[in-house]
Amino acid sequence: MLEDEDEVRRKKQRRGRIGMAGSLAGFLVLILAISICEAASIFQPISDSHRSAALDLFKPADGSFASLEETYEALRTFEILGINKKPDLSTATCGTVSKALGSSSSTPKDLFDALRVNSILKCNINAEVFEGIISRLQAAVSGASSLLDFYYSIGSLGLIKDQTSKADLHLSDAEGIFRSIKALSQSDGRWRYSSNNPESSTFAAGIALEALARVVSLASSEVDQSMIGTVKNDILKLFDSIEKYDDGAFYFDEKVVNVPEHSGPLSTSSSVVRGLTAFTTVATGSLNLPGDKILGLAKFFLSIGIPGDAKDFFNQIDSLACLESNRQGFHSTDPVTSIYSGFIDEERKLNGVSPYIGSVLICRLVKVNTVLGSKAPPLTVKLVRAYSTSSKDTSIIEDKELSFDPERVVYFLDALPDSVDVGSYIFVFKVVLHDSEHKDVFVTGTLTHVQIFMTGLVKIGNAEIVVLDNDLGSIETQRKLDLAGENAVSLSANHLQKLRLSFQLTTPRGSAFKPHQAFLKLRHETKVEHVFLVRNSGKKFEITLDFLGLVEKLFYLSGKYDIQLTVGDAVMENSLLSDIGYVELDLPEAPEKAPRPPPQVVDPYSRYGPKAEISHIFRAPEKRPPQELSLTFSGLILLPFIGFLIGLLRLGVNLKNFPTSSVPVAFAILFHVGIAAVLLLYVLFWLKVRLFTRFFHFANDYKSVGHFGSIHDIEDTEFLGSFLDVRWTQDPFTSGLSIIKVEICLRMKEFPLQERVVSIWTLCFKFCRTPFSKLY
Amino acid sequence: MGRKGRMGISHSSSVTLGAPTYIFRIFSVFNVSTQLNSTRVAREMVKLCVLIAAVSLLPILCLSFSPENPTDRRVLVLLDDLSLKSSHSIFFNSIKSRGFDVDFKLADDPKLSLQRYGQYLYDALILFSPSTDRFGGSLDLAGVLDFVDSGHDLVLAADESASDLIRNIATECGVDFDEDSSAIVIDHKSFAVSETEGDHTLIVSDDFIQSDVILGSTKVEAPVLYKGIAHSVNAANSLVLKVLSASPSAYSANPSSKLSNPPLHSGSAISLVSVVQARNNARIMITGSLDMFSNRLLRSGVQKAGDSNKYSKSGNEQFVTELSRWVFHERGHLKAVNLRHHKVGETDEPAIYRINDDLEFSVEIYEWSGKSWEPYVANDVQVQFYMMSPYVLKTLSTDQKGLYHTSFKVPDVYGVFQFKVEYQRLGYTGLSLSKQIPVRPFRHNEYERFIPTAFPYYGASFTTMAGFFIFSIVYLYNK
């Protein structure tokens, strides 16, 4: 990369000697991006993190990139960043390049990409191949109508000229081509892609400038200066449309609404910068571009940081390289980066120790380098003035030159005046170039404002917490506190008392210090928090909580309040968060209309989680006597019967009255068998209840009976059970069912009377024919 | 907005309306178009068009969000500056590399639209446009909320420039950003040691929510860098969770001006990143730091002030990636299928149980892994046997393959019961299943018979009967 620069510079010098002696008034764009401990806007130059990111972003899949365009972007990025450990692509890619160059179906864009890759890889391409392409490209140039056609074909020709050192490769009608490209330009400096596309684009302007630069360099004779002059005018107009960020960064953006992919401010600005660089390299005469805009562009590219997209990364690096390499019309930017260094602590003069340990830290090393991180030319860094952010009118340092440490290539401030205390300061730097020659080449920022925080250890003393009696102000309880250490104070107070907390803060220089954050926090057991600001008078900080006035604010919540004190500031090294202890407050009962404490956020861990298991407690079975007892009583129950039988025998009963004639005998037997059958039925019912149930079920299940007593659901689609089911079940459908369902359950399906009679007869007939055993 | 937010009125309700509806409406669309044309020729033409449209829409429809494939597919990113695409590319690339179809648009794009013909074009929305006062096209606050109400996901990042629109969206989701538009989170104790930041607004936090499902099973080792505004979660909203909280020393104020009043937000009550798991399974992530997703903070090393541990890389990348996985339903999305129950020893599901029956209950629960349904393993799934209140609540045992089962005895109370599985866990989508089943009492012939205790009564009856029989003979024929 450095070699590249040298070459460019040599070329320029050569050209300068030949034709345009001393006419170029260039600038050195010096971005003064000082990032001392704190800068309002920091522009870090390209560093090693960019290099590692580049290797991450440009990762070839299977040894090669998807397209030659991507390959070029990767190779170019690696080249600019000076990455040596790049993946080896040459063999595979050179094959693709020669294939693209040799193929007759390649479009000018393919050729352009292939040639661009070749310009870096320097593949072995046959000279005849080039000859064939040249004629094709020449034809394409003369037949071109759109800007991109011009760009690719002229660009390819230019690349061939560079790669083959063919001195006689010229464009036949350079001025004509120049004019036809120029014809696409708009009055505001932007370009159209083609004559029948009315939309003008800033991106296209960059492309056009690049193409025009190629045309000039390919021209056989010098191009008319007036035409170059008009293009320069276009560039200036284009710069009028530049946009600005708050932090001083400038960028170009498309004005059209429907922006295609990859045409954000970055690619647009990048395109313009590339075109501008190319054009100013070939054009003679000063452009007189405003230095702060060039500086702003460099800031814009640097402010992006490390882009995550390969295309953006290439655009950023390539543009910065353009800004840095071009030593002609305008110039690259040299950001001044500063890093923190040592301490001005009297006790320990340490270097290289973590900056957050010392008592007062001053950042005073200023590093200057270019956008790509290389060395800046000899220069002096001046500290114009430094002032505190709180009092802008009084300067603490004025007009001081920084010393230079050639070993570490940094500029530093030797000493700080004693008046500098902890706080935030603005340092104003200015870069003065030693060499007047460089002034033509580099653009420096005018004044760079850098915010610097002087941090230090703040002394905390005389801390105490007191409970006061309201009426007399007499001290009830008093506790000394060590705010830096542990405290566990336990106090109690009621609503008629006051709580006073006081402490002192002193800066290392012994003056009063007012931190940004000085809070006293009271936290009730129910997690209701109250924050109070602790105010100061001079060095002394004091807060008095009059509980009588605070009861409403405290929502009348009595109980334990944890006390927490937070003191912090950006410049305070020893910011503290101290749990002082607690105070037990005894507040009156809340009146009815008192405000309720706000609802607190429920702990998410307790909100979710399994519930406690529930198991049903079953009704205990009824108590029963032991079986032996029951059997014994059963035996005892038989005794009267046995006694009855014995009594009958004792009485000497006989059956002599039993009829003898046949008819009365038959009737007597029939009578007693009848009684026996009734009694037997009772016994059977007891023993074999199932049989009876079965009988009725059978009657119901029997298909030929039809829907005898069947009960359906409300839609009449689902069979719920038989009429008998309902009857035989004590309470089949519970109160959970709707009353309608119960009604439906009890509704019998209507049959014609005759049919029902027939059905019943059929049933009886079938039942009689069924074997008895089946009924079980 | 702010007042309403602070008073806590009805924020939670808006995100919880309605159940997810993922019905494709393509057929109704076609019907409408056919009705518009009366002539036959036109109808033929329409048929052809419909066919072409259907064929071309088919792949899109197949890819879209569905209950069976709950991971989002199409993500719309709204930016207020296209350069964010590049400066936040690591985050976007990680989303793209997971197979999402990411569509970038400017927030004021006049063609902006979330739905067409009543059907949503995207499954998730990323709002990286904090300064947008109003969206372009037809999109507005109500549009974004409807999007969420219909079960879609939202990622919202704000910063100091947060507009009222963005604040309102957050408020509707149960998150209140600091009303003071110049306030940012400052922490003088737990800030990032940095060469370039001195006002302690680049803070570090490692106070994560303890949930593997939200943040992944790998612990986020390095703290997260944060630079942005504070918000608090609305206590009235039970669905919003603080994922990343600030340290107790943090506060929200304007760093360049002196404080005249106590800050509205301070300490651990400040939430840096919050998420919402709505009842319709929509997921929302809200943060006050757009920088948190930026390549700069993702790549940056981190060292907490006063801590000697220096990490070469901040926890941001892991944190935002894992959180986006959760938001886009690549994790923590459950489904329950095959809810079954039957009597012990049987396999068929009965229509009714009798009291005191022993039953077996089982349900299968699966978790969506982003590609497939994996068995969900947990030991805290519970079933309730419920009638007005749970009669039985039992923890299910699992076979580690997604099947959860248990057995219990039906209570001796009859009525219409429900099997209920209510599973709400931190970070998981909620499961709510129920199945109705009636329980009947014993039939009269199902009671115990031949009880020995009753033998004396039976004995008395039967001996009386026998005695009657004998007495009737003796009385009639004795001489």
DSSP per residue over A465-515, as a string? EEEEETTT--EEEEEE--TTS---EEEEEETTEEEEEEEEEE-TTSSB---
CA A627 to chain centre: 78
Tokens representing B117 are 């013909």
Q: Quickly count helices (H) and strands (E) in chain B.
A: 11, 28
DSSP letter for each residue of B46-68: HHHHHHHHHHHHHHHHHHS-BTT
Beta carbons of B189 and A307 less than 8 Å apart: no
Q: How far apart are CA B78 and CA B286, in angstroms?
A: 15
Cα torsion at B292, B298, B301, B302 (round to 10°)?
30
Cα-flanking dihedrals φ and ψ of residue B130, to 5°? -60, -30
Give B13's pLDDT tier (boundaries 50, 70, 90): very low
**Residues in chain A closer than 8 A to B469 (CB atoms):** 672, 675-676, 679
Beta carbons of B393 and A577 less than 8 Å apart: no
Q: How far apart are CA A280 and CA A331, in angstroms?
A: 11
**Could you tell me what percentage of chain B is helix, strand and coil, using 3-state DSSP and rounding each to the nearest 5?**
30, 30, 40
3-state secondary structure A278-316: HHHHHCCCCCCCCHHHHHHHHHHHHHCCCCCCHHHHHHH
Closest CA to B321 of B225, B216, B204: B216
Beta carbons of B324 and B363 less than 8 angstroms apart: no
Nearest chain B residue (CA) to A626: B453
Nearest chain B residue (CA) to A629: B453
Closest CA to A697 of A718, A720, A723: A723
Beta carbons of A308 and B93 less than 8 Å apart: yes
Please give the biggest Cα pair distance in chain B.
135
pLDDT in tens, A78-108: 888 877 766 667 777 788 888 888 777 778 8
CA distance A714 to chain B (A): 16
Tokens representing A402 are 């920084």
CA A295 to chain centre: 32
Beta carbons of A734 and B415 less than 8 Å apart: yes
In order of A135, A396, A449, A741, the CA distances from A385 in angstroms are 64, 7, 10, 95
Count CA atoms closer than 13 A to A200's CA, side-chain side: 13
Q: Which residues contact A176 (CB under 8 A, 6 or more apart)?
A: none
Beta carbons of B380 and A690 less than 8 Å apart: no
Beta carbons of A610 and B83 less than 8 Å apart: no
Whether the pLDDT of residue B149 is over 90: the answer is yes
Q: How far apart are CA A33 and CA A441, in angstroms?
A: 19
The mean per-residue pLDDT over the stretch B447-467 comes to 89
Query: pLDDT above 90 covers what percent of chain B?
Result: 47
Higher per-residue pLDDT: A247 or B184: B184
Beta carbons of B114 and A293 less than 8 angstroms apart: no
Q: How far apart are CA B417 and CA B392, in angstroms?
A: 11
List b or e across A260-280, with b for residues whose CB sees 16 or more CB atoms inside 10 angstroms: eebbbbbbbbbbbbbbbbbbb
In order of A177, A402, A760, B181, the CA distances from A366 in angstroms are 50, 8, 115, 35
Q: How far apart are CA A481 and CA A462, in angstroms?
A: 8
**Residues in chain B closer than 8 A to A570 (CB atoms):** 186, 188, 198-200, 255
Closest CA to B166 of B286, B281, B253, B279: B286
Q: How far apart are CA A113 and CA A70, in angstroms?
A: 9
Closest CA to A629 of B135, B451, B344: B451
Q: How many CB pairs below 8 A link A and B?
A: 277
Q: Exposed, middle or buried: residue A457 (CB in 10 Å: 0-12, 13-18, 19+)?
A: middle
CA distance B25 to chain A (A): 30
In order of A655, A666, B417, B472, B473, the CA distances from A673 in angstroms are 16, 10, 53, 12, 11
Residue type at position A158: G
pLDDT in tens, A556-585: 888 999 999 999 888 888 888 888 889 998
Backbone region of residue A62 per phi and psi (left: phi > 0; alpha: psi in -120 to 50; beta: other values): left
Beta carbons of A175 and A223 less than 8 angstroms apart: yes
Give B2's pLDDT tier (boundaries 50, 70, 90): very low
Q: How far apart are CA A298 and CA A336, in angstroms?
A: 13
- 3-class DSSP state for residue B301? coil
Nearest chain A residue (CA) to B417: A736
Q: Which residue of B248, B263, B456 is in closest CB contact with A637?
A: B456
- pLDDT of A767: 43
DSSP letter at B43?
H
Give B418's pLDDT tier (boundaries 50, 70, 90): very high
Locate the DSSP E strands across B308-351: 310-311, 333-343
Q: How far apart are CA A733 and CA A624, in angstroms?
A: 31
Across chain B, what does the average pLDDT equal?
83
The listed range with the strongest mean pLDDT (A149-158, A708-717, A724-733, B462-471) is: B462-471
Q: Which residue of A42, A575, A637 is in closest CB contact with B189?
A: A575
Beta carbons of B445 and A306 less than 8 Å apart: no
**Residues in chain A closer than 8 A to B188 (CB atoms):** 516-517, 568-570, 572, 575
The mean per-residue pLDDT over the stretch A645-660 comes to 88
pLDDT in tens, B256-297: 888 888 898 998 899 999 999 998 889 999 999 999 998 888
- pLDDT of A632: 94
Beta carbons of B455 and A634 less than 8 Å apart: yes
What is the number of residues in chain B?
Answer: 479
Whether the pLDDT of residue A280 is over 60: the answer is yes
The listed range with the strongest mean pLDDT (A13-22, A590-599, B365-374) is: B365-374
**Residues in chain B closer than 8 A to A736 (CB atoms):** 387, 415-416, 438
Beta carbons of A604 and B242 less than 8 Å apart: yes
Higher per-residue pLDDT: B442 or A740: B442
In order of A229, A232, A287, B228, the CA distances from A236 in angstroms are 11, 6, 8, 39
Neighbours of A22 (CB within 10 A): 7
Beta carbons of A68 and A113 less than 8 angstroms apart: yes
- pLDDT of A363: 37
The pTM for the full model equals 0.73
Q: How far apart are CA B442 and CA A585, in angstroms?
A: 63
